[in-house]
Amino acid sequence: MRNLWVVVTAAVAGTGCGAGVRGSDGETRESAGDGGPPIDGGLPGDGGMPGDGGMPGDAGDPSQCPPGQPRCAGVCTDTRSNRAHCGRCDNACPGDQTCRDSTCRSGAPPAGYVPIAAGAFDMGSPSDEIGREADEGPQRRVTLTRALRMKATEVTQTEWRSLMGNNPSSFSSCGDDCPVEGVSWWEAAAYTNALSASSGLPACHVLEGCTGTPGSGSYSCSQATFAGPGCSGYRLPTEAEWEYAARAGTSGGTYAGTSAVTQCEQPNAILDPIAWYCGNAGLAPHPVAAKTPNAFGLHDMLGNVWEWCADWHGSYPSGAQTDPVGAASGSRRASRGGSWVNPARSVRAADRNGRAPDERSGALGLRPVRTGL
């Protein structure tokens, strides 16, 4: 891992604007990162509503329950609102969730996260989009059936440190409000699991065979199982969720339009207001949230640092999909959005990159999501 990191760092230092390193998969490795603006500081844990907790009380004659109230653990239970038996007897709501209308729901929304309604969009890019690469197609209709909350900014160095106790960032001198980077996919997934644990929520990325400490530079695992977008804890977004969020209802190269140029040309009227990339970042990440957010209130979805997604990086199927979670297996994990070192062609909503899960880069960080509003 260390060797990989060194290689990546060297590549970043040596390539400069627009340059790339050809990866083993033939895709240009957009090896670098960039940074973003500041902060919402606080930990996302939502502290939570206590829920109704109480037992449903006994309904008198033990052989008779009111209509619509099954007997759970021997007690007639209104499963529409009982958080220990929500919707059915064997469904207990986790941590800070309550049961409303037979469904476990989040209590107070986590600070620093923005709501994103369920919906449908055209995922990928049309064949004539400027800067397009083959893995962005075929463009197809994707429906997301679950509302989400997504962190408004990349996870900052302060946020990582306060939860994980270290700072793996190679640009630590950038400051507390700069995005954490230098994290492998395993470490990004472990961070979201730690967030979930801090809120009493289940781990959404079940990691096995792990050694080392996340953020230490040597953490790695042998296997990860994704609990899927129905998981109630914090997690990495799927590629579909990430792109849906990045587009925020738009269909061009970026949420501010499509850049007419593909490299680091300056000025760039499309990218300069919204993204740190090779044309304006000075070969370094920047504090999060300094650039104009998209219509969902998300900063630095494009540029600053790449963001790990839950999916394996694989080929898109043709035909419409609902709640896709990517390829069933693979060797590289998806990352999205481009970074401080990348050219304009990589700083697009549809652009994809794949990296080995052990890879670390000063241009690669993360942004968690959580299902439900």
Interface with Ca ion (CB under 5 A): 133, 300, 304, 337, 351, 353
Number of H helices, E strands in the chain: 4, 19
Give the position of tokens 């230092």.
13
Q: How far is the CB of 6 from Ca ion (least distance, A)?
A: 23
Q: Which is nearer to Ca ion, 27 or 46 (CB)?
A: 27
* Residue 86, CA atoms < 13 Å, CB-side half-sphere: 19
Pairwise CA distance, residues 6 & 24, whole Å:
17
Per DSSP, which regions of 199-332 are E strands?
Answer: 205-208, 223-226, 234-235, 306-312, 321-322
Q: Which is nearer to Ca ion, 78 or 351 (CB)?
A: 351
Q: Which is nearer to Ca ion, 238 or 304 (CB)?
A: 304
DSSP of 81-114? T-TTSSSSTT-PPPTTEEEETTEEEESSPPTTEE
Q: Indicate the DSSP class of residue 356.
A: -
Q: Which is nearer to Ca ion, 18 or 337 (CB)?
A: 337
Pairwise CA distance, residues 170 & 33, whole Å:
11
Q: Which is nearer to Ca ion, 133 or 265 (CB)?
A: 133
Q: Which residue is nearest to Ca ion (CB)?
A: 337
Q: Which is nearer to Ca ion, 46 or 300 (CB)?
A: 300
Q: Which is nearer to Ca ion, 99 or 152 (CB)?
A: 152
Q: How far is the CB of 346 from Ca ion (least distance, A)?
A: 6
Please say whether the beta carbons of 363 and 181 come within 8 A.
Answer: yes
Instruction: Name which of 200, 198, 197 is nearest 104 in CA terms.
Output: 200
- Where b means 16+ CB within 10 Å and e means fewer, 319-336 reads eebebbbbeeeeebbbbb
Q: How far is the CB of 216 from Ca ion (least distance, A)?
A: 24
Element (H, E) at 241: helix 239-247
Q: How far is the CB of 25 from Ca ion (least distance, A)?
A: 11
Q: How far is the CB of 84 from Ca ion (least distance, A)?
A: 40
Q: Which is nearer to Ca ion, 93 or 344 (CB)?
A: 344
CA distances from 303 to 124, 335, 337, 344 (A): 18, 12, 6, 9
Q: How far is the CB of 355 from Ca ion (least distance, A)?
A: 11
Element (H, E) at 286: none
Q: Which is nearer to Ca ion, 46 or 359 (CB)?
A: 359
Pairwise CA distance, residues 248 & 285, whole Å:
24
Q: How far is the CB of 153 from Ca ion (least distance, A)?
A: 9
Q: How far is the CB of 22 from Ca ion (least distance, A)?
A: 12
Q: How far is the CB of 82 from Ca ion (least distance, A)?
A: 41
Pairwise CA distance, residues 153 & 187, whole Å:
18
Give the position of tokens 């919402």.
40
